[in-house]
Amino acid sequence: MPRLSATQRHSIRFTLNGTPVQGEAEPRMLLTDFLRHVLGATGTHVGCEHGVCGACTVQVDGALARACLTLAVQVQGCEIRTVEGLAPAPGRLSILQEAFRRHHALQCGFCTAGILMSLDAFLRAQPDADEAALRDLLSGHLCRCTGYAPIIAAALDAAARLRETAHA
């Protein structure tokens, strides 16, 4: 039973978007700060820091997680996916990201990384998701620019295109 001391930094290893990463953190360090400050992966944004706004949403072993409600020590050995892992190649956007651009589903972009991670996981699990299900999912995110309508439009469009791709 390892006991990690509060005052020391401990080695944390996990896989970030398919690449093994390592850094040091006190037990109290949030995953948001570990990603941004230790690893320099600043795509994950920090909004409210108490689990309400959804800006920091990432995927831990395929499941959605608020990175601000997750300690870095809790994800030892896990597979983490962040917004940096969505694009298939440098200079190319994923189907979901393309839909966001086409529908103007972002303005300032602060909430976007978290919303993309939620939709990415959700559309994989429920490719036939309807608008009601998408609105329910998006209730876990705050966006102060768009009024959500273009986000819903982009998500429905992406869902349809992803279904076509799956059948092709």
Partner 1 sequence: MKPAKFDYVQAEALDEALATLRAEGEGARIIAGGQSLLPMLNMRLARPAVLVDIMHIAALAEATATTETLRIGAAVRQAALLARPSLHPLLAAALPWVGHAQTRSRGTLCGSVAHADPSAEIPLVLLALQGEILLRSARRARRVAATDFFTGMMQTARHEDEMIEAITIPQPRTGEGYAFREVGRRHGDFAIVACAAAAHATGVRLAIGGVADHPAARELPADSAQWDDALDAFAHALDARDDLHATATYRRQLVRKLGRQVMQEAAACRA
- C-alpha separations of 155 from 4, 9, 133, 141 in Å: 42, 41, 11, 14
Question: According to the binding rule CB under 8 A, does residue 119 interact with partner 1?
Answer: no
Nearer to partner 1, 71 or 93 (CB): 71
Query: Using CB atoms within 10 A of its CB, is residue 93 exposed (0-12), middle (13-18) or buried (19+)?
Result: middle
- C-alpha separations of 63 from 45, 78, 147 in Å: 18, 11, 26
> In angstroms, what is the minimal distance from the CB of 85 to partner 1?
17
> In angstroms, what is the minimal distance from the CB of 7 to partner 1?
7
Stretch that binds partner 1, among 22-30, 95-103, 104-112, 160-168 (CB under 8 A): 22-30
Question: According to the binding rule CB under 8 A, does residue 27 interact with partner 1?
Answer: yes
Q: Which of 87, 140, 145, 161 binds partner 1 (CB under 8 A)?
A: 140
Which residues inside 71-100 make contact with partner 1, applying CB under 8 A?
A: 71, 73-74
Lookup: tokens for 83:
């917004």
- C-alpha separations of 88 from 3, 30, 45, 77, 97 in Å: 40, 28, 21, 24, 11
> In angstroms, what is the minimal distance from the CB of 161 to partner 1?
22
Stretch that binds partner 1, among 83-91, 136-144, 147-155, 159-167 (CB under 8 A): 136-144
Which residues inside 41-70 make contact with partner 1, applying CB under 8 A?
A: 49-51, 54, 57, 60, 63-66, 68-70
Cα–Cα distance, 136 to 40 (Å, whole number): 32
21 bridge partner residues: 14
> In angstroms, what is the minimal distance from the CB of 24 to partner 1?
14
> In angstroms, what is the minimal distance from the CB of 97 to partner 1?
19
